[in-house]
Amino acid sequence: MAYRNFVPVIGMIVNMARGDDCCSQMMSLRTDNGIVNFRITPDTHVIDCRPLRAGLRVAAFYDASLPVPLIFPPQYAAQIVTVLTRDEQVMINEFNRNLIATDNSLQLNIARNTSIETINGQNTNCSLSNQTLLVYYTVTTRSIPPQTTPRRVIVLC
């Protein structure tokens, strides 16, 4: 999967509805830019298998290289959905051997209490260098690149 094409949309779930069949759902998010709809299918990774419901703050990632219908509000096929805490941020990026994102947008400082796992929830002790990572964090420094000690890192194999 080409994770470099994944774009996050962060917002509050305002509605969950049944999709076209029993195995899909429609999720409506209220974002700073208005309502955005997502199709949740059996191919969507919902991190931690958390039940999605109205009132949760989530990040939904879609693949920007896929075609989307030209409708309003926008509607995307969710590839990954994860629940976020109040002030938490999340990003997917490739990180080099110094744990700096390829676009120089973030540098990771891994702590002992940083949870490191695979997308299916298994603990891993593999090197994070030169990997695509889903990173959960709250605060960053004002340096260039900004630095953070993430709460959680998910290795996207």
Confidence (pTM): 0.93
Q: How far apart are CA 93 and CA 77, in angstroms?
A: 20
> Closest Cα partner for 28 from 71, 69, 66, 60?
60
Helical segments of the chain, H only: none
How long a stretch of residues is the chain? 157
- For the chain, which ranges sit under pLDDT 70? 1
Q: Tell me what pLDDT residue 96 has.
A: 97
Q: How much is the pLDDT for 157?
A: 83
* C-alpha–C-alpha distance, residues 135 and 98, integer Å: 15
Is 104 in contact with 65 (CB distance < 8 Å)? no
Q: What pLDDT, in 10s, does the model give residues 117-149?
A: 999 999 998 999 999 999 999 999 999 999 999
Q: Give the residues across from 9 on adjacent strands.
A: 60
pLDDT at 9: 97
- The pLDDT assigned to 14 comes to 98
